[in-house]
Structure 1
Amino acid sequence: MPEADTRSTVSAPISPRRIYVESEFASLHTVVLAQSEMRLPDADTFSPAQLDEEIDIMPADKRLVIRELLGKDHAIAMPARQAQWECERANFQAVLEKHDIEVLRPRLLTQYEKDAGGANGYANAFVRDPWFTVGGHVIEGSLRFPHRRREVLASRNIMKTQVIPAGSTYNALPQPEIMPLEIDDGGPGPFLEGGDVLVHGQHIFVGQSGRASTAQGAEYLRKLLEPAGYTVEVVPLKPNILHLDCAMGMVREGLLVVYEEGVLNGVPESLADWEKIPVSQLEAANLGTNGLPISPTVYITDPFFERIGSEVAKRGIHVEYVDFAISRGFGGAFRCSTQPLWRETP
């Protein structure tokens, strides 16, 4: 297999760019779109019971594919499926660019980075989790799954050429403690993953199910952002939910798509009077809440969720559909695959 292309896919900016994320649905101007690289851990890096626990949040057909891919690079093991995965991302990029959104891409992993993963494997597929943007703060997170610990490295070219020269701040969480998943018991980490972080102005929601972000991760974010006037609210999730954006998504001001049974204490009080489009457990497991608003009037989802899309459209919002079946098979959809750098009301 040829050596991965390590060249940057973005050039240095002529002048510092605008980096700011106002909310989950403010107009999207600049976004980072993930690559499609994945090698899952070897089967013997988990106990059988732990493996069952980690993948039982996925639909049964997706679990079968995950088991088949343990210890294998997806592109080598399933080349036709890999081509379909890359095509999904290309089609998604075309829709974003049709709406005049600037799309940046992380680089591919080097062979050195792949080798460093060892039996734990590697990932470069869901750019939302390794780092995220809140207001003018760009924050490097800390991921629970060992095969994703180095995923942020593929975005470092964007951080160097786009983020650091800009007028934003850049912070990174401490490295997590090293321990097997079966004894980490959801913490302490600290773990903080972008899929758990939803932005609504100065109010930041952080999901916590025991599978990803932990109390220490949320506390780090609170200490970082509260001096700048932000409120950080932890949202407890049922343990069959990976991230907050797998249970709840803001479509525009006053409108949520939500799997309410997955949110232990109910929808947060500040969002309680919002109109809610209910999502079933099966739809949530397939990533039905993980669509992407690109403005308050345009929303992207998968044709698998035509029912949800139709409900969104009834509220006067234009819905774009992109087939994202392979991406969803790895546990992430449109929000997971993107990292907004500039979202702001005109």
Structure 2
Amino acid sequence: MLKLNVNDETSRLRAVVLGTAKSLGGTPTLADAYDPKSAEHIKAGTYPVEEDMIKEMEAVASVLMKYDVTVFRPEVIEDCNQIFARDIAFVIEDKFIKSNILPDREREIHAIDYLIDQISPAHVITLPEKVHVEGGDVMPWHDYIFVGTYTGEDYPDFITARTNKYAVEAIQELFPHREVKAFELRKSNTDAMNNALHLDCCFQPVGKDLAILHKNGFLIEEEYQWLVDHFGEDHIFEITKEEMYHMNSNIFSIAPDVVISEKGFTRLNKWLREKGITVEEVPYAQIAKQEGLLRCSTLPLIRD
């Protein structure tokens, strides 16, 4: 049996699901795009090709193996984009919580059934149908669980709104001993520069007490300010709108002092190194064209 354990974003990683870029099914039609950034690249003819994305993901797999992390991969579903493993489920403490995601993507979870079968059924949580949530919006951090959400009445109009108010309530019920802190995110179906698809698209804790943050990703200034006060200004790397667009906040921690980051994130990577963090650089710019990056394509199962 797999004994799950994830209490925060940065403790030493022992086991993870890494998505796969095999058999993506080619470039989607505009009507099938789930986010404005993919749509932008479909229109421009610059949508990434499978071969390049496979190479990018294998570079990540190599880094994980270098640090003795057990890496699970989904079984390949023909003609299905399975890169973003974080969307389909997430682990908090010893619970494996299945996401309720866009209906078109429900089959992705079955590609890791072989793994779910290794978890005690009492620890596998299926949420009620009205609860919409994706793992990119959920971050356990010490006494808190940070959750990105959108609660506007126009929620159904946004394909980019992935986590609703019922999810915030459901997570608080599952973990009554922690404080669930929700953040309203800026959503746009058409403008990738002004869309925070998930919380990890505009914020992520790193190291022991640091954070990457982008103000414009948050709809409510007081909620953004809460994070600034919580981490402290000296401990925050504020990314620009363009850096958010390129997914600078979506790196992935192997340990408090080791992260995997995109090689083009020069300003961020320099700051991380100045803070004493080892930065393992990988090429991931093609996958970034789908509005997801390193945190989005990994689903941690066990951290120390």
Q: For the superposition of Structure 1 and Structure 2, which TM-score range results when normalised by the shorter chain?
A: 0.7 to 0.9
**Which of 153, 162, 182 is matched with 2:110 structurally?**
153
8 Å contact kept, 2:28–2:42: no
8 Å contact kept, 2:201–2:244: yes
Percent identical pairs in the alignment equals 26
Distance in 1 between the 2:244 and 2:288 partners? Answer: 11
Structure 2 counterpart of 1:129? 87
Is structure 2 residue 185 aligned with structure 1 residue 237? yes
Aligned pair in 2 of structure 1 residues 220, 297: CA closer, same or farther (>3 Å)? same
Shift of 1:66: 2.8
8 Å contact kept, 2:201–2:247: yes
Give the match's secondary structure for 1:123: coil
| Pairing 1:281-296 to 2, within 5 Å after superposition | 281-296=241-256
**Structure 2 regions of 5+ residues with no counterpart?**
156-160, 188-194
TM-score by length of 1: 0.75
**Structure 1 regions of 5+ residues with no counterpart?**
1-15, 46-50, 115-121, 176-188
Shift of 1:221: 1.5
Distance in 2 between the 1:124 and 1:307 partners? Answer: 30
Shift of 1:336: 0.5
**Which of 244, 248, 271 is matched with 2:230 structurally?**
271
Distance in 1 between the 2:20 and 2:44 partners? Answer: 21
Distance in 2 between the 1:68 and 1:174 partners? Answer: 39
Is structure 2 residue 266 aligned with structure 1 residue 306? yes
Distance in 2 between the 1:204 and 1:130 partners? Answer: 18
8 Å contact kept, 2:210–2:231: no
Structure 2 counterpart of 1:6? none
Structure 2 counterpart of 1:193? 134
8 Å contact kept, 1:41–1:147: no
Question: Could you give the per-residue CA deviations for residues 89-132 of structure 1, whole angstroms, max 9, x where no partner exists?
Answer: 111100111111111111111x5xx6xxxxxxx43120001100
Structure 2 counterpart of 1:66? 42
The AA in structure 1 aligned to 2:89 is W
Distance in 2 between the 1:30 and 1:267 partners? Answer: 34
Question: Could you give the per-residue CA deviations for residues 217-246 of structure 1, whole angstroms, max 9, x where no partner exists?
Answer: 2212122221xx122111111222110000
Choose 1 or 2 for highest CA Rg.
1
**Which of 104, 108, 124 is matched with 1:170 structurally?**
124
Shift of 1:43: 4.3
8 Å contact kept, 1:235–1:268: no
Distance in 2 between the 1:17 and 1:158 partners? Answer: 8
**Which of 85, 88, 93 is matched with 2:53 structurally?**
85
Question: Could you give the per-residue CA deviations for residues 294-329 of structure 1, whole angstroms, max 9, x where no partner exists?
Answer: 101111100121110101110011111000112111
Structure 1 counterpart of 2:170? 220
Shift of 1:83: 1.1
TM-score by length of 2: 0.85
Give the match's secondary structure for 1:207: strand
Structure 2 counterpart of 1:178? none
Aligned pair in 2 of structure 1 residues 17, 280: CA closer, same or farther (>3 Å)? same
Give the match's secondary structure for 2:136: helix
Shift of 1:143: 1.0
Structure 2 counterpart of 1:203? 144
Structure 2 counterpart of 1:257? 212
The AA in structure 2 aligned to 1:31 is V
Q: Which runs of 4+ in 1 moved over 3 A?
A: 37-45, 267-270
The AA in structure 2 aligned to 1:91 is A
Aligned pair in 2 of structure 1 residues 329, 43: CA closer, same or farther (>3 Å)? closer
Give the match's secondary structure for 2:279: strand
Distance in 2 between the 1:321 and 1:298 partners? Answer: 11
Aligned Cα root-mean-square deviation (Å): 2.3
Distance in 2 between the 1:20 and 1:197 partners? Answer: 15
Q: How many residues align?
A: 280
Structure 2 counterpart of 1:30? 15
Shift of 1:68: 7.0
Distance in 1 between the 2:119 and 2:92 partners? Answer: 13
8 Å contact kept, 2:207–2:277: no
Distance in 1 between the 2:277 and 2:211 partners? Answer: 13
